[in-house]
Structure 1
Amino acid sequence: MDRILLFIIATVILSATDVLAQRFFIGCWYRPGQSSFQNIAEAVENGFNLIISSGNIEENKKTLTWCSKNGVQAVLVDDRIVSSSGRRRDYARILHEVVSDYGFQPALWGYYVKDEPSTRDFRWLSSVNKLLTEKDRERILLINLPGNNRRIKQLGKASYEEYIDEFCRVVRPRIISFKSYAPTLDSEKTDLIENLEIIRRQSIKHSIPFCCVFVLSPQGSSRNHWKDDLRQQIYTCLAYGARGLIYRCSEAPDGTEPEHSEATSSAEEAISATYEHENTRQINAEVMKLAQTLARLKCVAVYNTGDIPLGTKALPEKGLISKISDGEFVIGQFDSNTGQKYALLVNRNARSVTRASVHFSQKVRLWEVSPLTGRLRPIVVYDEGAGSRWNAIFEAGQGRLLLIDTPQNLPILHWQDIPKFRPRVMLNPSCQFANVIRGPGGEELYNEGLNMYDIALKVRDELLSDGRVDVFISRSARDQEVSLRYETELTRSLNCDVLVSLHSDATGDGTPGGGTWTFYADENEGKRLAECVQIPLLEAIRTFYPEVQFRGIRTHWYRLWVLWEAGCPASLTEVLFHTNPREREMLKDPKLQDIMAKAIARGILNYFGLS
């Protein structure tokens, strides 16, 4: 495999209904046209069970056939998908063609879509994700996000966490895939752990598993990964609960697939000298044996010892694992679905062996999951006062997965450290101050912009009284005029999780019209938000207006800016018609406003599962 781009992908899809659930994948990526039956067979021999292949249609079909014969699956890089971001009007047709060409193949695992998208790409990627799910729901879309670096502002956000959060909110991927580079030439430090803290939080917030892409070839001031670098970073990702590990041997400076050249060949030769097949086989074997256990565990806390990396938490002294003498470690703590407790301890020193004493605050019995067999083997521990001590040796970069039993059944502190999130809600009252109903003498009977602000204030007060969400209004005064762009940019800058726009409707043809309805952009979370807002509102209106016309919950015939550009799921509710005299009076009645505002607030809380 001296001419292939090596990737290691290990991905577990957590949904119980997913065809990929509870399976761990390790794969390699071939350059265009370089996959062959022999190369795939060699990859399988070295522990890979997923092939990532780039080629034209016929080459990709051959790859799927060869994968099927070797008992593995494939992710396809099809230029029609990768380049369709520049032809977005055609992507529905393009995806239909791609699925028609490959979708019937059982060896197909998924499609590679884009590298390092900007926030401007998120809505397009959301549409691609939705369309592909409708056409071929068993396949995965792989989108590589950047690591935390200086390019984040160029990609459209002020911080890395905001970038990842908006990506998850808008695109709703089935897996988060982010990149990390080798240590620099003058330092052994990387930003991997800092990134993992952010990725883990967003993975938990959005219930999406994640994987890491390691770019192994030098980029800028970075050097090649070495074997123990690789092992240490693999285990660190696993300790943070990663469900996937991707290792990329070469990459062009802009993140695109590099062309063949003498420079590229030299880089590959240098990497091949470092990563011989035996090393790859050994790492793959370790990962697969541990995956048999990790696939059924949930990461509930991560701590560090020694020199504490930026943004991480130190190991609590009163926790079950109370101290690790000597060395620097990452400690990932896990629960199984049967209540068992596991911990993955990783030696952060990728250069030398570390002898450490692991101290426990109460008596424990320990077993280690063997990286050779995947089976449990008992570990000798010593009594130490009220607790226990394990004297351990960790090879450079090594991780060791432990099953911990507490026979005294005493309370355990600090075992779980799952981040909590307060939902952030943007209320967006209509700014259509020109939508005015006047009386016979020219007096103003109704103003949509002013009236909907009054209702939005009441919704805000209801949510503030509940106290479980942070709530904002897209303008600070009843008569403040703001642009649609200002409203959506404010929503994105405040990192809001939803935008709820409130309007009153009009017919435009002189007829009164009437009724209530809610619109959303063409994506599932927006639809769910619209349903959560509209249904309680409809029920509330019927308490004082039983004959109200329910016009539905649907997409709008125009591409409404606030629905598509808010950077989060959004809904727009036409509460009632202000061109209908009876409904107009309802919109103005403070008591009826209270009833409608309570219903809208209740719907927002329902969306977040806070009913």
Structure 2
Amino acid sequence: MLDEFQIFPWVSPPSYETNDFRYLQMKAAGFNYTSWPIDEGALNKESNLKLLNLCEKHGLKTYLADDRIYEAVHSDNWKALIDEVVEDYKGYPALYAYDIKDEPGADDFSRISEIVSYLKIIDPTRHAYINLFPNYASPNQLNTATYEEYVDRFIQEVKPFVISYDHYHFFKPAEITSETEIKDERQRLIYEASIRRQNRPGYFENIELIRQKSLQYDLPFIFIALLVTHGPYRDLTEAELRWEAFQALAYGAKSICWFTYWNPPPDSVWNFRNAVIDDGVETEHYQEMKRINPQLKLLGDKLFDKKTLKVYHVGEERESSKVNFFQADELIKVASGGNYTLGYFTENYILIANKDFKAPTEVILELTGSQHVYQFDKNTGAETEIELKDNKYILQLSPGDAELIRIGSV
């Protein structure tokens, strides 16, 4: 289980930039956890010890990657490799979890399960982290007939401490040309999907399935959100970044990971650019992270010990017919106005998230009974009772934004 609401980057500064300035810079952007260096060849003891010492110095915890762990997934000598890794890092309190493998197919679950079980024995205070494919991966990638089977098998066989997955929603118009070096099926599927439409469908189906599995197996989930421009994925606005984070929060996510913090190495297919830090320079996304992450952390902390109950959609839903549209319940009689989601949690907490990342939306909630509505300030955490009009709570939400309320008698 997670210890607190985490905001962490997928990949940290490269090993040659692992220094006080860079880690204070990352912390100032609202990250309370971090991960492994971005540069190739840096997933080794020397680089990782420098990372661990800096994290401890600056009050961060980290997900750690080591090439020996990746090798262990496909090696008969896996126990010896894991023993080496644990011995090298056993005295470092900043180590939170070992990264085992990103987006494994089900064919790898057996060995991953062995590694996870072994780590629980020899290093029980640390976790084993595995990030899953999204629901647009092919059966050949999943090694299962359906995505639900893939997720179920992962949880049942691997017995993870958390469910983690990514889903990148925002395309730009893209074409496959003779110069585009498509290397595998995954890359081709992503490019071909981007030609057909600007925003990838399936976001809400994916997160609802993960929400249900989180409840079924009593596991928290991490959502990995798109940030860096690459391949067919467009440069995102602040409203689109907020949309990703706050929709995930409405569905019960207990951690958000931003992909990526630092630009990955040059790649002829993905052409990564404009991450939070691009070639050592803060981009506009750095300032956006400084605005978004503290608010996300505050709301995430408020909801961290609350259980997700249901998510309703209000207004239009252009990309999915499988969402749950609002129905009157014991708290709210009528929900009207624009397009938004209502994420219900225990203790009558509701996160209201704008589904429109281009325009503001109006929220009108007519209460079922004579109750009070309290709204939390995203910047201070202060709870204020809101004056109702004809027993209606009315709110204007900025594009992609969210607000947290509590409905109660006191």
What TM-score does the superposition give when structure 2 sets the normalisation length? 0.85
AA matched with 2:23: I
Aligned to 1:39: 22
Counterpart for residue 399 of structure 2: 396
| Other structure's SS at 1:401 match | strand
The aligned runs of 1:340-359 (5 Å cut-off) are 340-359=347-366
| Deviation per residue, 1:562-610 (Å, 9 max, x gap) | xxxxxxxxxxxxxxxxxxxxxxxxxxxxxxxxxxxxxxxxxxxxxxxxx
Alpha carbons of 1:66 and 1:220: their partners in 2 closer, same or farther (altered >3 Å)?
closer
Within a 5 Å distance, the mapping from 1:421-570 to structure 2 comes to none
Q: Which among 382, 389, 398 is matched to residue 382 of structure 1? A: 389
CA–CA distance in 1 between the matches of 2:47 and 2:231?
A: 33
Partner of 2:253: 242
Aligned to 2:60: 72
With over 3 angstroms needed to count, the CA separation of the structure-2 counterparts of 1:126 and 1:153, relative to structure 1, is same
How big is the shift at 1:288? 1.6
One-letter code of the match for 2:115?
A: V
Gaps of 5+ in 1: 1-12, 15-19, 252-256, 408-611
Matching residue's letter, 1:35:
T
Tell me what 1:560 maps to.
Answer: none
* Cα distance per residue 1:533-585 (max 9 Å; x no partner): xxxxxxxxxxxxxxxxxxxxxxxxxxxxxxxxxxxxxxxxxxxxxxxxxxxxx
CA drift at 1:123: 1.0
8 Å contact 1:306–1:328 — kept in the other structure? yes
Cα separation, partners in 2 of 1:271 and 1:151, compared to 1, 3 Å = farther
Report the residue type matching 2:395 in the other structure: A
Spell out, residue by residue over 1:332-385, the C-alpha distance to the aligned partner (whole angstroms, 9 max, x if none).
Answer: 1111xxxx31111111001111123222222220111211011211211123xx
Letter in 1 for 2:388: V
2:297 corresponds, among 265, 288, 295, to 288
State the partner residue of 1:277: 286
Q: How far did residue 32 of structure 1 move?
A: 4.3
SS at match of 1:377: strand
Structure of larger gyration radius: 1
* Correspondence 1:30 to 2:12: yes
1:317–1:146: structure 2 CA closer, same or farther, 3 Å change rule? same
Partner amino acid for 2:55? Answer: C
Task: Please identify, of 33-42 and 392-401, the stretch whose mean Cα deviation from structure 2 is larger.
Answer: 33-42
Inter-partner Cα distance in structure 1 for 2:155 and 2:315? 33
Provide the secondary structure at the position in 2 that maps to 1:181: coil
CA distance, structure 1, for counterparts of residue 86 and residue 261 of structure 2: 29
The one-letter amino acid paired with 1:109 is: Y
Higher RCO structure, 1 or 2 (CA under 8 Å, sep 6+)? 2
Aligned to 2:211: 200
Q: Secondary structure at the match of 2:312?
A: strand
1:42–1:274 distance in 2 versus 1, CA, 3 Å: closer
Tell whether the 8 Å contact from 1:303 to 1:332 is kept in structure 2 after alignment.
Answer: yes
Q: Using the alignment, how far apart are the partners of 2:114 and 2:269 within structure 1?
A: 38
Structure 2 residue corresponding to 1:230, chosen from 205, 227, 241: 241
**Counterpart for residue 328 of structure 1:** 339
Residues 1:148 and 1:71: Cα distance change in structure 2 (over 3 Å)? same
Q: Distance in 2 between matches of 1:189 and 1:263?
A: 19
Q: CA RMSD in A?
A: 2.4
Q: Secondary structure at the match of 2:342?
A: strand
Residue 147 of structure 1: SS of its match in structure 2?
A: coil
**What do the CA deviations read for 1:263-290 (whole angstroms, capped 9, x no partner)?**
8776236985864322111111101211
- Residue by residue, what CA displacement relative to the aligned partner does 1:432-458 show, whole Å, maximum 9, x if unpaired? xxxxxxxxxxxxxxxxxxxxxxxxxxx
1:62 matches 2:50: yes
Give me the whole-angstrom Cα distance separating, in 2, the residues matched to 1:263 and 1:151.
Answer: 19
**Cα pair 2:250 2:311 within 8 Å, conserved:** yes
CA contact (8 A) 1:369 1:402 kept: yes
Distance in structure 2 (CA, Å) of the matches to 1:331 and 1:401: 10
The answer to whether the aligner puts 1:316 opposite 2:336 as a matched pair is: no
Structure 2 residue runs of 5 or longer lacking an equivalent are 173-196
**Partner AA of 2:401 in structure 1:** Q
Length, aligned pairs only: 374
Work out the CA distance in 2 between the residues paired with 1:269 and 1:290: 24
- Counterpart for residue 558 of structure 1: none
DSSP 3-state at the match of 1:268: coil
**Which range moved further: 288-297 or 123-132?**
288-297
Partner residue, 1:368: 375
Distance 1:316 1:119, change over 3 A: same
1:122 matched to 2:109: yes
User: In 2, distance between residues paired with 1:166 and 1:380?
Assistant: 49
1:108 aligns with: 95
After TM superposition, the score normalised by the length of structure 1 is 0.58
Contact 1:250 1:268 in 2 (8 A): no
Equivalent pair of 1:40/1:51 in contact (CA under 8 Å): no
Letter in 2 for 1:200: R
Q: Secondary structure at the match of 1:66?
A: helix
Superposition map of 1:397-412 within 5 A? 397-406=400-409
For the structure 1 residues 196 and 168, does the alpha-carbon distance in structure 2 shift closer, same or farther, using more than 3 Å as the test? same
Q: Name the aligned partner's letter for residue 344 of structure 1.
A: L
- Is the CA contact (8 Å cut-off) linking 2:229 and 2:272 kept in structure 1? no
Q: Which amino acid aligns with 1:193?
A: F
Amino acid at match of 1:331: L
| More off after superposition, 118-127 vs 271-280 | 271-280
State the alpha-carbon separation in 1 of the partners of residues 277 and 20 from structure 2: 23
Deviations 1:239-268 (A, max 9, x none): 1111111111389xxxxx954458877623
Aligned partner letter, 1:59: S
Classify the secondary structure of the residue corresponding to 1:382: coil
Compared CA separation, residues 197 and 113, structure 1 to 2 (3 A):
same
